[in-house]
Amino acid sequence: MTTLLPVAGAAQIRQAAVNEIRTDRKAFAAVLVLNALAVGVGLVGPWLLGKIVDAVGKSPARDAVGTVDRLALVILVCTVAQIVLTRCARYVGYRFGERTAARIRERFLDRVLALPAAVAERTSAGDLIARGTTDAPTIAFALRTAAPDVFVAVIQATFIIGAVVVLNPVLGLSSLSCLLVATIAVRWYLRRSSAAYRTEAASGSQLAEALATSVAGARTIEALGLAEMHSMTTASSIDTARRARLATLRLRSVLFPALDVSYVLPLVAVLLIGGVLHNRDAVSLGTVVAAAVYLRQLVGPLDTVMLWVDGVQSAIASYARLEGLSSTPTVRQAISAEPADNRIRIIDVSYAYDHGRDVLHGVELDIEPGERLAVVGTSGAGKSTLARLLAGIDTPRTGSIHVGGVPISGLDADRLRHHVALVTQDQHVFHDTVRGNLLIARPDATDAQIRSALAAVGADWVDDLPDDLDTHLDGTGHRLDAAQAQQLSLARVVLADPHTVVLDEATAQMDPTSARNTERALAVVLEGRTVIAIAHRLQTAHDADRVAVMAAGRIIELGTHDDLIAREGTYAALWHSWHGEKRTAT
Ligand code: ATP
């Protein structure tokens, strides 16, 4: 069962945002100061315009011309200074935004890569894809465009309102009261929008997951006649996503008209109240003009906030989803001690999937270096689970698995792969070159070592590839068949050179020719290593040094093939029945 990744709560988002600013605090301070200066210089113009109006009204015409010229020159200088300062503020702001976006993206990637294999396996692929391909770009876009604009707009609006209050408190307060409409509308919106945008993003993830599963399992779906059921599931996901979108659209359709009205109201109030006050000689005409011009200027910043409030909301929802990854468990606590030898000890191991019931109960086993151990048992006995624990993919609920006296769960991936490797039939070929696919196992491997690993597993097909080790193995490049993919994974094992290999159904579902080729390659790879093989054919058990028989999550018999046959227990019964079937078949 796949699960969705967590989403960060409000406190976590605030903390992460504060950390973001702290990391680049100098740039943030520069953005703040430059914007404040640009806005401050911009406020001088309307104030001087008011002075011009008053000068023209009071002075004789000749004196007024000189005053107007002087003031107009100062307005010009202020305008040029504002342009220069705004340009610098934007430049610094955009750079800050880009750097922050890059950090968020890199942190997301680091967190995804740090997810323990078991968590990554159970995480919904659609959710991860949506967070990487939708949420990360949404934040980057918002930081590149919305954040600098909104930041400037908020500073501008604050300064403009402050200027009107300083100019005339009555006019300032009356315009402020009209902004109440905007405040109420925005609060109404924000209270609902956060949840609505999160629902929208989550429904997008679910839709991506539904599509990804249908595409990945298209053949199986067709073969089992499940197409209609999958179409219905996808249609229901589309419907949920559509309804979530409509919900956010409804919120916007209330907010925008309300804001439209609210930012014209202060201007109307200043003109009406200013007119009355001027008639009573309580304010000069210049003050009313300056206040009206300021409030006209308020339209710009409010417009910007209105334009981006939506983008900022969805960016915050995306940020919450990317930051949510910080609460997932990361790769285990690394232990610095090096294993003393190659001995594997399984000590009283119990394990349960996703807090369910235990599927392994008090498993105890010592495996000698170089030993070949076969694990047999009926389906569901816990063989594959034990293999995953041995390979360090999952961690025991209680008890531990040691290699050379060190718990496997304390070795990070880089160290673990030099000790234990798991080979299953699910071989992943990465969208990379042949070389890139192999360097995963040993990043410092030379071409000669790569070639020798490929030769060891009989992958001579590499010589026929158009670009040799540089040939791309993906949808657009060369495609490998199952046997070639398995050879590639075995070459990785050769390069990683672990002393212990755990085999789980490595060839179980291959066609006979591929299985024979792979087994030949396997024989070379396994030479000189400890082998723990989940045995589906009892011939493997027959050839092993020891056989462990599992039933209902416990090892119920352990010994050599001959010992267990002589004991006439479960293994002997399995052997006789398998041998009998084989004889009948031949
Ligand atoms: P098989 O030979 O059929 O693969 P097995 O002996 O390898 O069987 P496991 O696959 O280890 O058995 O399964 C042991 C138990 O754990 C079973 O009851 C199975 O249903 C359960 N189990 C296996 N994988 C998961 C999982 N991902 N989530 C929950 N339970 C699981």
CA of 385 to the centre of ligand 1 (A): 6
H helices, E strands: number in the chain: 21, 12
Long-range contacts of 534-538 (CB under 8 A, 24+ apart): 534/375, 534/383, 534/384, 534/387, 534/502, 534/503, 534/504, 534/505, 535/374, 535/375, 535/376, 536/505, 536/508, 537/578, 538/376, 538/574, 538/575, 538/578, 538/579
Confidence tier at 555 by pLDDT (50, 70, 90): very high
> What pLDDT score was predicted for residue 585?
52
Write the DSSP symbol of residue 3: B
Residue nearest to ligand 1 atom 18, measured at CA: 380
Q: Which residue has the tokens 């491997």?
A: 445
pLDDT of 563 strictly over 70: yes
Range list of H helices, 405-555: 413-416, 434-439, 447-456, 482-496, 512-526, 538-543
Closest CA to 550 of 535, 537, 566: 535
Q: Assess contact for 521 and 350: CB atoms under 8 A.
A: no
> What pLDDT score was predicted for residue 164?
85
Q: What is the mean pLDDT of residues 168-192?
A: 81
Which residues belong to CATH 3.40.50.300 in the chain? 344-585
DSSP string, 80-136: HHHHHHHHHHHHHHHHHHHHHHHHHHHHHHHHHHHS-HHHHHHB-HHHHHHIIIIIH
Range list of H helices, 217-325: 218-223, 227-262, 265-279, 285-323
State the Cα–Cα distance between residues 356 and 344, nearest whole angstrom. 27
- φ, ψ (nearest 5 deg) of residue 370: 80, -5
CATH 3.40.50.300 fits 344-585, yes or no: yes
Confidence tier at 550 by pLDDT (50, 70, 90): very high
Q: Which residue has the tokens 């028989």?
A: 549
How many other β-carbons are positioned within 10 Å of the β-carbon of residue 229? 11
β-pairing verdict for 530-534 and 500-504: parallel
CA of 379 to the centre of ligand 1 (A): 8
Does the pTM surpass 0.85? The reply is no
Residue nearest to ligand 1 atom 17, measured at CA: 380
pLDDT digits (tens, 9 = 90+) for 71-120: 889 889 989 999 999 899 889 888 888 898 889 888 888 888 877 777 77
Residue nearest to ligand 1 atom 28, measured at CA: 353
> Which mutation among 351, 384, 574 tests ligand 1's pocket best, with the greatest number of atoms within 8 A of CB?
384
Task: Find the range with the poorest average confidence among 138-142, 213-217, 272-276, 577-581.
Answer: 577-581
Q: Is 429 left (phi over 0), alpha (psi -120 to 50) or beta?
A: beta
> What pLDDT score was predicted for residue 514?
66
> What pLDDT score was predicted for residue 247?
93
> Which mutation among 385, 502, 505, 555 tests ligand 1's pocket best, with the greatest number of atoms within 8 A of CB?
385
State the Cα–Cα distance between residues 299 and 294, nearest whole angstrom. 9
Q: Which residues contact 333 (CB under 8 A, 6 or more apart)?
A: 410
> Which mutation among 349, 375, 383 tests ligand 1's pocket best, with the greatest number of atoms within 8 A of CB?
383
> What pLDDT score was predicted for residue 347?
93
> What pLDDT score was predicted for residue 60?
65
CA of 115 to the centre of ligand 1 (A): 22
CA of 205 to the centre of ligand 1 (A): 28
Calculate what percentage of the chain has a pLDDT beyond 70: 93
Structure tokens at 63: 């004196």
Residue nearest to ligand 1 atom 23, measured at CA: 385
β-strand partners of 531: 372, 501
CA of 373 to the centre of ligand 1 (A): 20
> What pLDDT score was predicted for residue 394?
83
On the 0-12 / 13-18 / 19+ scale of CB atoms within 10 A, 230 is: middle
Q: How far is CA 444 from CA 418, 426, 515, in A?
A: 13, 25, 31
Which residues belong to CATH 1.20.1560.10 in the chain? 10-208+249-325
Task: Find the range with the poorest average confidence among 145-159, 355-369, 445-459.
Answer: 145-159
Angle between helices 10-23 and 25-58 (to 10 degrees): 90
pLDDT of 239 strictly over 90: yes
State the Cα–Cα distance between residues 436 and 441, nearest whole angstrom. 10
State the Cα–Cα distance between residues 218 and 222, nearest whole angstrom. 6
pLDDT of 505 strictly over 70: yes
Structure tokens at 232: 């219905």
Residue type, 219: R
> What pLDDT score was predicted for residue 174?
74
State the Cα–Cα distance between residues 141 and 139, nearest whole angstrom. 5
CA of 220 to the centre of ligand 1 (A): 21
Across the chain, mean pLDDT equals: 83
pLDDT of 397 strictly over 60: yes
State the Cα–Cα distance between residues 204 and 241, nearest whole angstrom. 6
Name the range with the highest mean pLDDT among 148-152, 201-205, 235-239, 513-517.
235-239
Confidence tier at 244 by pLDDT (50, 70, 90): very high
568 compared with 178, residue with greater pLDDT: 568
Residue type, 165: V
pLDDT digits (tens, 9 = 90+) for 109-125: 888 887 777 777 777 77
Select the CATH number that applies to the domain covering 10-208+249-325 from these four: 1.20.120.1200, 1.20.1560.10, 1.10.150.390, 1.10.3090.10: 1.20.1560.10
Helix (H, G, I), strand (E, B) or coil at 317: helix
pLDDT digits (tens, 9 = 90+) for 518-541: 777 777 778 888 999 888 777 778
Ligand 1 interacting residues, C-beta cut-off 6 A = 353, 359, 377, 379-385
Q: Is 355 left (phi over 0), alpha (psi -120 to 50) or beta?
A: left
By 3-state DSSP, what share of the chain in percent is helix, strand and coil, each rounded to 5?
70, 10, 20
Long-range contacts of 15-20 (CB under 8 A, 24+ apart): 16/319, 16/323, 16/326, 17/319, 20/100, 20/103, 20/104
> What pLDDT score was predicted for residue 322?
86
pLDDT of 242 strictly over 90: yes
> What pLDDT score was predicted for residue 525?
78
> What pLDDT score was predicted for residue 430?
83
pLDDT of 331 strictly over 70: no
Q: What is the mean pLDDT of residues 171-200?
A: 81
pLDDT of 495 strictly over 70: yes
